[in-house]
Structure 1
Amino acid sequence: MIPTCYCWTSLETLATEVFKHAGVSAAKAKIVAESLVHADLRGIESHGLSRMPIYVKRIEAGLIERVVEPQLVMQEGAAALIDGKNQLGAVVGLMALEQALKLARQTGIGFVGVRHSNHFGTCSYYAERAISQGLILLVLTNAPEAMAPSGGIRPFLGTNPIAVGIPAGQEPAFLLDMATSVTARGKIVMAAKKGEAIPADWAIDQNGIPTTKPEQALLGSLLPIGGAKGYGLAMFIDLLCGLLTGAAFGPGVKSLYDNWEHPQNIGHIFLAIDIQKFLPLPLFQQNMDEYIRQVKNGPKKEGTSEILIPGEIESRKRRERLQKGIPFSLNVEDELSQLCAAYGLDLKAARIAP
């Protein structure tokens, strides 16, 4: 069966309307809609519009702020701190990004910490924006407990993703966006919704035994990427995003899905670098192109047709979906249809005619 595909611009419009019906201003609703559709365009369904129902549910439960604006509470030299005031994560994240880029243009470096935020979508949403303006961006965020320390079986750390965006010229930009666990927790949630098994190296159950059952994995713990190295990287991200900013950390970061008493209080870090303070941008882009070509033209092992750089698969997926549309799994399609219908909207309006 060929899945139904949806026009990305129509999905952005529809999602904006959903958030507006939930009491979010038009400007903020548009930001969040764009961030979610961005993930779907890149093929990251776990962080796309599949998250819209839980965002709306938390907004309606009063666990995400609709009105109060994020606040710049400190700015000195190249450093700044933003209090998200429990606003929608993408709204807070975009404000932090803009502040980091502004400081980078002034001083060469912009380092912005964020506290009292929420799930802000994919890190690549912000990295792509920096790349388009010719700046380098490092994005870190902590997340609710999902991963045990190496040797442990009880979750303590989040999947704590890291992203780096570096612009190139004619070649595709370098865009690394990864969780510090073997996989993002959202992918296990999606597998549970679809009734699919997961690879045995993704997670352990409550007794510390590797499992292929997503339900058992969600009760147990995700595994860090690269063993102790991933654990160390996840802890480093938590220390910066949580302790340094004054946000929650470790088990103190509240679950998006399971905690209905407290805000998440997630912390983020945005580090922007103005390339032109170091080298003329065209020269840097020329050097990046040459570097990437050398990587891609290197010897290939048997069975490998092409060497790809981080972000290239997602970039190609985006180009394809801009033209052909975005498909959804049936369970996500059903959830979105129900949510739209609750506000008198019709998901079918965003379909691309076969």
Structure 2
Amino acid sequence: MMSVLVPFRQLEEYCAHILAAAGLPDEDALLVASSLVDANLRGVDSHGVSRIPIYVKRLQLGLVNTHPDVRVVNEAGGALVIDGDNGMGQVVMQRSLELALSRVPSAKTVSVAVKNSNHYGSGAYFAKKAAAANTAIFLYGSAPSTMAAWGGRERFLGTNPYTFCVPAGNREPMILDMATSVVARGRIILAQQVGEEIPEGWAVDPNGEPTTDPESALAGSVLPFGGPKGYGIALMVEVMAAMFSGAASGPEIGDLYDDLDRPQGVGAFFTLHDIGAFQPLNHFSQRMEHLFDAIKQSGPPDREVLIPGELEARAAQRNKEHGISVPSAVVADLERLSPDGRRLANPDDAMTNAATRK
């Protein structure tokens, strides 16, 4: 698969320009672009700029509110219910996080249920912001039906992502950001976009047979990780993200790609915990560093033990220095959407012209 290297700031600005032309206010366009490029930086390309075309399509069809009134509709103690007013998922999540963080100094623990939202991209992007404010975050998100219940036949649950993040002193924060399926559906969509097969064990076709064809996989069902355990966690996420918030659930959620006649109605639930309310921050940071050291020393001499999020942090540092490898097919999609015809892969730029093979 051919790709080109693009400086991350250039990619961010280019995508923000596309989203602004599609109707998002400049500040929101930059936020959405930043969240997608951050996923690419971390090597999570399934949640990166390959999503731009479908975001633009939904904006052009009027399926997303470009000026949402994201507001608290119910508040009791440290518990909030927020209506996203059908805004872009990243915009709703950012404003919800800001509302929650403003209450942390007094409430110490804040729980937020979000309804009437859309696909918010990678949970890690927002989890890192929570960690930067010295809070730990648990984030649950609902998603369109792509996975059958364990023992079921029809798609019902989404890939229902789960994110946990906590700061770790002088180390990178621990970030566990995962789908409850074997793989995020976005990785199958990306394989379809670039014409690649998927590994066996990711999904089944509409007849319930294993498949390596992304088209058949998208028409069929992704598989939960860990069999019934993954299904159980996916259902837990569904309860938190949809039942607590009053958001759409299961087949009620609009599919990002296929349901182009209605909003998605995505829900989310997150809890922020002020670390200083439980342990002195310096003490907590030192203990986290010692914990990480102990874990990394627990493996054999010839094999490194990794902390969740460590590989992604390394990828982000590398990609910031050398550029993000963007598949040529994705580059072509973005350039078709450019409102002024400007190219992303500038042949006169040494970095963006550095074609590579994966």
Bin for the TM-score computed over the shorter chain: over 0.9
Aligned equivalents of 1:314 and 1:27: distance in 2?
Answer: 26
Aligned equivalents of 2:140 and 2:325: distance in 1?
Answer: 29
Where does residue 347 of structure 1 map in the other structure? 344
| 1:257-268 map, 5 Å | 257-268=257-268
Higher strand share: 2
Where does residue 309 of structure 1 map in the other structure? 307
Residue 2 to residue 240, structure 1, CA distance change in 2 (3 Å): closer
Residue 267 of structure 2 aligns to a residue whose secondary structure is strand
- 1:90 correspondence with 2:87: no
The alpha carbon displacement at 1:174 in A equals 0.9
- 1:208 correspondence with 2:205: no
User: Structure 2 stretches of 5 or more lacking a match?
Assistant: 352-358
Q: Indicate if the aligned counterparts of 1:296 and 1:306 stay in contact, CA closer than 8 A.
A: yes
The alpha carbon displacement at 1:195 in A equals 2.1
Aligned equivalents of 1:171 and 1:58: distance in 2?
Answer: 39
Where does residue 138 of structure 2 map in the other structure? 138
Extract structure 1 runs of 4+ deviating beyond 3 A: 342-345, 348-352
Q: TM-score, normalised to structure 1's length?
A: 0.95
User: One-letter code of the match for 1:82?
Assistant: I
Q: Deviations over 1:223-265 (max 9, x none)?
A: 0011101101111111111122111001111100000111000
Residue 348 of structure 1 aligns to a residue whose secondary structure is coil
User: One-letter code of the match for 1:316?
Assistant: R
Residue 165 of structure 1 aligns to a residue whose secondary structure is strand
Aligned equivalents of 2:251 and 2:94: distance in 1?
Answer: 26
Q: Indicate if the aligned counterparts of 2:16 and 2:26 stay in contact, CA closer than 8 A.
A: yes
Residue 170 to residue 227, structure 1, CA distance change in 2 (3 Å): same
Aligned equivalents of 1:295 and 1:172: distance in 2?
Answer: 15
Q: Indicate if the aligned counterparts of 1:90 and 1:119 stay in contact, CA closer than 8 A.
A: yes
Q: Number of residues paired by the alignment?
A: 351
Aligned equivalents of 2:348 and 2:69: distance in 1?
Answer: 34
Q: Indicate if the aligned counterparts of 1:99 and 1:112 stay in contact, CA closer than 8 A.
A: no
Residue 57 of structure 1 aligns to a residue whose secondary structure is helix
Residue 173 of structure 1 aligns to a residue whose secondary structure is strand
Aligned equivalents of 1:33 and 1:172: distance in 2?
Answer: 23
The alpha carbon displacement at 1:222 in A equals 0.5
Where does residue 269 of structure 2 map in the other structure? 269
- 1:37 correspondence with 2:37: yes
User: One-letter code of the match for 2:107?
Assistant: T
Aligned equivalents of 2:238 and 2:2: distance in 1?
Answer: 42
Where does residue 192 of structure 2 map in the other structure? 192
Residue 345 of structure 2 aligns to a residue whose secondary structure is helix
User: One-letter code of the match for 1:339?
Assistant: L
User: One-letter code of the match for 2:326?
Assistant: F
User: Structure 1 stretches of 5 or more lacking a match?
Assistant: none
Q: Indicate if the aligned counterparts of 1:99 and 1:110 stay in contact, CA closer than 8 A.
A: no
Residue 148 of structure 2 aligns to a residue whose secondary structure is coil
Residue 343 to residue 234, structure 1, CA distance change in 2 (3 Å): farther
The partner residue of 1:328 within 326, 333, 337 is 326
| 1:1-354 map, 5 Å | 3-300=3-300, 305-340=303-338, 342-348=339-345, 353-354=350-351
The alpha carbon displacement at 1:334 in A equals 1.2
The alpha carbon displacement at 1:305 in A equals 2.2
Where does residue 355 of structure 2 map in the other structure? none
Q: Deviations over 1:117-144 (max 9, x none)?
A: 0000100011111112211011110000
Aligned equivalents of 1:150 and 1:284: distance in 2?
Answer: 39
Q: Indicate if the aligned counterparts of 1:337 and 1:346 stay in contact, CA closer than 8 A.
A: yes
Aligned equivalents of 2:287 and 2:233: distance in 1?
Answer: 29
Q: Deviations over 1:300-343 (max 9, x none)?
A: 39xx5211011000000000011111111121111111111x44
Aligned equivalents of 1:198 and 1:75: distance in 2?
Answer: 45
Residue 70 to residue 350, structure 1, CA distance change in 2 (3 Å): farther
Q: TM-score, normalised to structure 2's length?
A: 0.94
Q: Indicate if the aligned counterparts of 2:2 and 2:327 stay in contact, CA closer than 8 A.
A: no
